[in-house]
A and B are shown apart, each in its own frame.
Chain A
Amino acid sequence: MTLKEMKPGQSGRVVSIGESGQLKRRIMDMGITPGVEVKVIKVAPLGDPVEINVRGYELSLRKEEAARIEVE
């Protein structure tokens, strides 16, 4: 499944990042790399973006971006 499909409170392990180029680099710079554990904290009041906890801090990203991140 993808990060986008995860519900608030759910945790998962990142398998792969289906982006390329600059955006992929940015995602990885922020600590979302294969094998890392992520937890969805909440979804913004209007349904997008989502807030996740990764490597001990909170990060927000849009569902569009979360949909490219494969988790298990």
Chain B
Amino acid sequence: MSYVIALAGNPNCGKTTLFNELTGSRQRVGNWPGVTVDKKEGTYKKNKEILIMDLPGTYSLSPYSAEEVIARDYIVMEKPDAVIDIVDATSIERNLYLTLQILETGIPTVIALNMMDEVEARGDKINAEKLSEILGVPVVPVTARKGKGVPELMAEAVETAKAKKAPKKLPIFDEKLDAAAAKIKEALDAAGEADSGWKAIKLLENDEKVAERVSAELKSQAERIVADSYGAGADLEAVIADQRYQYISRVVKDTVKKGRTGHVETRSDKADKILTNRILALPIFAVIMYLLFACTNSENFLFLGINSPGIWLAGVVETAWGWVTGLVEGLVGNASPWVYSLVIDGIMEGIGAVLGFLPLILVLYVLVSFLEDCGYMARVAFVLDRIFRRFGLSGRAFIPLLQGFGCSVPAVMATRTMESEKDRKITTILCGFMPCGAKLPIFALIVSTLFADSNQTAVTYSLYIFSIVVAIIVSLLLNKFVYKDETSNFIMELPQYRIPTVKTIAMHGWEKVKAYAQKAGTVIFVSTILIWFLSNFNIDSFNGNNAAANEDGSIMCEMDDSFMAGLGNVLAPIFKPQGFGEWRPAAAIVTGWIAKENVVVTFAQLYDEDVSPEYLEGYFSQYSPEELEELGFEGGTYDPEAAPDIYSESILFEGGDENALPTLHEDIPTKSAAYAYMVFNLLCMPCFAAVGAMKRELKTWKELGKAVGVQMLTAYVVSLLVNVIGGLFMN
């Protein structure tokens, strides 16, 4: 016999830790309120017949936030065989508030009393037996982090699911409310409505979602019953919430024995005194953010003159991939030209471009996960809220935006933890402006080739600052003109600091690497082949014209005549004012929407790596010393340092080098245009995976269109300004 058991509970109650403990699956465990943004499932590791559903963490089952609706719709409509309600015993009062609402649904329930070790450490005692007796459902004390009590909990849950025993009705409400609820239930029963008891209370609470589901007649009948005993338009929502908490106070009084009275200062409180200290909070935050990025991508880690873990790992991966490419090159060396081209220039180069920066994302996410799990991120939101509000945002927007430095998809999903719709919409748009991991190779490539003689680190960092400045300005504008009537709030739990386990952190790292490896293996792999195809073939490839024209009988064409060129040529005129109005950069932008990594992949296929020192030396060896002097080499001797610039100038002004593919210098001739190109890719619509995530969060196509429109418009206008204004002093 198979059973479905759902896990429900407040954010930070250890629900996801328990889910991992039960399923052994790799799951995000977070100490950020609402990390589980969707329901997830897995099978119980000791019995594959038992399906475990992880519901989003919520404080209530009211219909206001997306997460609450997901959790409650699942419980009420899908009717799992049992619900395990995880209660954080360290804040039992607030947690029981959700418990009462779960019990109201009539689904068989078991309560897991979690964090019992912390309760004991505080010197408090909770009488689980008494609690079970009062609430009429099994109560099992557990410590999910250590796996303590988990087998007992599951045994109890399976028993409860088998028995199909609905929780008893509790004496929560006063007589007057009960009488009104009974009358509404009667009317619902008469109309043949299912779950009449639960719906009756929801109608009393003025719950719009439930009111929509019953007939208009039943709805007005309920309103009449309320008006009869409470007067027309009475606000019973507050009354009901109040009575629930009053009931909980009575339960807690009977079951919890405080070791010490009053507010006890915990270790977490002590840590908080320093971390959110009036004077130290901002400097500590700055140092932590500096360390975060230093560990990720610094070539002078903590001024020690060594590479950061991220850069070091990236180097290892690149070397390994180079070695693999070498092996594959040997294998296809004798194959036909197009097979060789597909495998080496297409697949190997494309995947290599993605793999190279994967370690950076791994390091960033492991660190961000740690900060989230230990509870620091909630404090960052607390400290920064004042600043963020000035820009029309909530402090809670910080988490999604920081995650945006890794990948826009989890970033956009993280916006769901914000309650205010306005904050959610604006933050979703801003996430697309963040320099995600996939955009970094674009910057790296362009900065290293087109800003070779500038301070490259400064140029790259300026883009980070650029993205933040643009985000602020756009947020202000959106607040002023687009979402001007909507409000936001900042009612947020500040969870206890907890050191996450190494297992949890390791799991996060693995999860992200897996997600990226999958992305590289699917989307990037397929689009690499597509880009290769579009850049090397045209109509004539398939009617025999190319085969007849090419000496070797190849059906491939010149890139200038390819499908890709056709696409790029259509778009190129749009970007003339930005200074990069050629088909190659334009086509690369389009391929970047499939995945931002593709911009680099496309460049790798469309441009020659002509600025390699060996190539340059060979190229200039055809000139005599007099000619070299004329070209700009001092004293007529070849100088590797000056070679790249002289090369690109000679190509630009004399056409030169017919053997080489064009260079980036040719299509993006000025520094201002190069910067504008990076800015456009930074700010324009993110990849389709992220757009899909945006659609899920924004719900309607209209809102999505608005968001993408804002991103595109911002990218176009800002890159135009960069080229025009930057052109005055950059070039």
Listed in ascending order, the chain A residues whose CB lies under 8 Å from chain B are 17, 20, 22-31, 33-36, 39, 42, 44-49, 51, 53, 55-62, 65
Comparing B447-455, B461-469, B486-494, the segment that makes contact with chain A is B486-494
Cβ-defined partner of B62 (8 Å) among A17, A20, A29, A39: A29
Known A24-B237, A27-B491, A59-B491; 20 more pairs at CB < 8 Å? A17-B238, A28-B238, A28-B245, A29-B97, A30-B59, A31-B94, A45-B383, A48-B389, A49-B386, A55-B91, A56-B90, A56-B91, A57-B493, A58-B493, A58-B496, A59-B494, A60-B382, A60-B494, A62-B489, A62-B490
Whether B263 contacts A36 by the Cβ 8 Å rule is no
Cβ-defined partner of B237 (8 Å) among A25, A46, A58, A60: A25
Cβ-defined partner of B386 (8 Å) among A28, A36, A44: A44
Q: Is the CB of B60 closer than 8 A to any CB of chain A?
A: yes
**Given A24-B238, A44-B276, A29 and B489 touching (CB < 8 A)?**
no
Whether B90 contacts A25 by the Cβ 8 Å rule is no
Q: Is the CB of B260 closer than 8 A to any CB of chain A?
A: no
A56 to B395, CA, bound (A): 24
A35 to B244, CA, bound (A): 13
Query: How far in angstroms is the closest Cβ of chain B from A5?
Result: 18
Comparing B278-286, B346-354, B405-413, the segment that makes contact with chain A is B278-286
Residues of B within 8 A of A57 (CB): 90-91, 94, 493
Query: How far in angstroms is the closest Cβ of chain A from B263?
Result: 6
Query: What is the chain A residue whose CB lies nearest that of B491?
Result: A61
Listed in ascending order, the chain B residues whose CB lies under 8 Å from chain A are 59-60, 62, 64, 90-94, 97, 235, 237-238, 241-242, 245-246, 263, 276-279, 281-282, 382-383, 385-387, 389, 395, 419, 489-496
Whether A29 contacts B241 by the Cβ 8 Å rule is yes
Q: List 23 A-B contacts (CB under 8 A).
A: A25-B64, A26-B64, A26-B489, A29-B60, A30-B94, A30-B491, A30-B493, A31-B245, A33-B241, A33-B242, A34-B242, A39-B263, A44-B276, A44-B281, A56-B92, A57-B493, A58-B493, A59-B492, A59-B493, A60-B382, A60-B385, A60-B494, A65-B489
Q: State the majority secondary structure of interface residues on A.
A: mixed
Whether A46 contacts B64 by the Cβ 8 Å rule is no
List the count of A-B residue pairs having beta carbons below 8 Å apart.
Answer: 112
Query: How far in angstroms is the closest Cβ of chain A from B31?
Result: 13
A51 to B385, CA, bound (A): 12
Residues of A within 8 A of B387 (CB): 46
Query: How far in angstroms is the closest Cβ of chain B from A14?
Result: 10
| Interface-centre pick from A26, A29, A47 (highest chain B CB count, 10 A) | A29
Query: What is the chain B residue whose CB lies nearest that of A43?
Result: B278
Query: What is the chain A residue whose CB lies nearest that of B240?
Result: A28
Whether B490 contacts A61 by the Cβ 8 Å rule is yes
Whether A60 contacts B91 by the Cβ 8 Å rule is no
Residues of B within 8 A of A24 (CB): 237-238
Q: Which 4 A-B pairs have the closest CB atoms?
A: A57-B91, A46-B386, A55-B93, A28-B241
Whether B383 contacts A46 by the Cβ 8 Å rule is yes
Query: How far in angstroms is the closest Cβ of chain A from B378?
Result: 8
| Interface-centre pick from B382, B385, B419 (highest chain A CB count, 10 A) | B382
Query: How far in angstroms is the closest Cβ of chain A from B275?
Result: 10
A44 to B494, CA, bound (A): 12
Query: How far in angstroms is the closest Cβ of chain A from B501?
Result: 22
Residues of B within 8 A of A49 (CB): 382, 385-386, 395, 490
Query: How far in angstroms is the closest Cβ of chain A from B436?
Result: 29
Whether A58 contacts B494 by the Cβ 8 Å rule is yes
A70 to B91, CA, bound (A): 24
